[in-house]
Copies of this chain bind each other. A is one copy, B any other.
Amino acid sequence: MQNLLAASINGEPVANMAAAVNLEERGLHYGDGLFETMLLRQGNVAAFERHMQRLAVGCERLAIAQQDGNAIEQEIKTLVRQTSQGIVKLIVTRGGGGRGYRGVAGATSNRMLMLYPYTPEIAPAPLTVRWCTTRLARNPLLAGVKHLNRLEQVLAQREWQDASIGEGLMLDLEDELVCATAGNLFVATEGALCTPDLRFSGVRGTMRARVLDVARELGYAVEECALRPQQLLDATEVFVTNAVRGIRPVTALEDRRWPIGALTRRLANALELW
């Protein structure tokens, strides 16, 4: 477990991490909020604007009062001080507290910033994955949003203890392949890139968006699709993305092996990840 280094809530530094959050916080009672997990590298938050854009979309989707990205940027600077690398986690909740699902009309949202230690990877980290038996529910209302209702991911990660397995692949209840437990999934076949369209579940990752953009810039055929497990098995390259770990080439799933392919390398290179 990583050690929380510093934190602030609504701009106020947190002195005592063990007693910091309002007991009526709706994030606790209902998972009524959103989060961003951001990579701090060379003193800067990678793709900060994309994180803020996704947060704004999430607030819009869940009717949570918008946060000010500039204020968050300043607070992150104060939070990280001389720290040049790590993870900055942001939680934004509906605010207003109180028992009852409805909440208070017009409430100002709360923001919590946390700094965790982390050393960014600068070389490809080959990934062995497994199938998760935990399935994702389908709900277009929440699909794509990085909200705080994450029991499915918690239960999925608890399926295995084998440290040699770095990720689990998750299907939805209609047998579509959606994502890894903490990342998006890409498959490549003959130079064409495909990633699940996330119309029913999953999170629209910021690294996923960066990969899609750069792949298009590089002239690759890119498709967001309803992905089936067989397409993964038939693919010539597979990789998992997230904002912190970047691009991780999937090299093994049960008996299936993949090389770290040319397309994967080219994308990682174009994004200055390896």
- A residues in contact (CB < 8 Å) with B: 1-2, 4, 7, 9, 14, 16-32, 35, 37, 62-63, 87, 89, 91, 94, 96-105, 112, 114, 116, 134-139, 141-142, 147-158, 161, 173, 181-182
Q: Which chain B residues border A141 with CB–CB below 8 Å?
A: 134-135, 152, 155
Contact of A22 with B31 in the complex, beta carbons under 8 Å: no
Contact of A22 with B18 in the complex, beta carbons under 8 Å: yes
Q: Which chain B residues border A97 with CB–CB below 8 Å?
A: 1
Contact of B62 with A148 in the complex, beta carbons under 8 Å: no
Which chain B residue lies CB-closest to A153? B101
Contact of A148 with B29 in the complex, beta carbons under 8 Å: yes
Q: Which chain B residues border A134 with CB–CB below 8 Å?
A: 141
Which one of A20, A98, A142 has the highest number of Cβ atoms from chain B below 10 Å of its Cβ? A20
* Known A21-B23, A139-B152, A173-B138; contact A1-B31, beta-carbon cutoff 8 A: no
| Cβ-closest 6 pairs across A and B | A31-B31, A137-B137, A149-B149, A137-B139, A21-B21, A30-B150
* Known A28-B27, A98-B2; contact A103-B154, beta-carbon cutoff 8 A: yes
Pairs across A and B, CB under 8 Å, 12 listed: A1-B98, A1-B100, A2-B98, A21-B21, A21-B28, A23-B114, A28-B148, A30-B153, A89-B99, A105-B161, A136-B139, A142-B152
Q: Which chain B residues border A27 with CB–CB below 8 Å?
A: 28
Query: Bound complex: CA of A28 vs CA of B148, how far in Å?
Result: 8
Contact of B20 with A14 in the complex, beta carbons under 8 Å: no
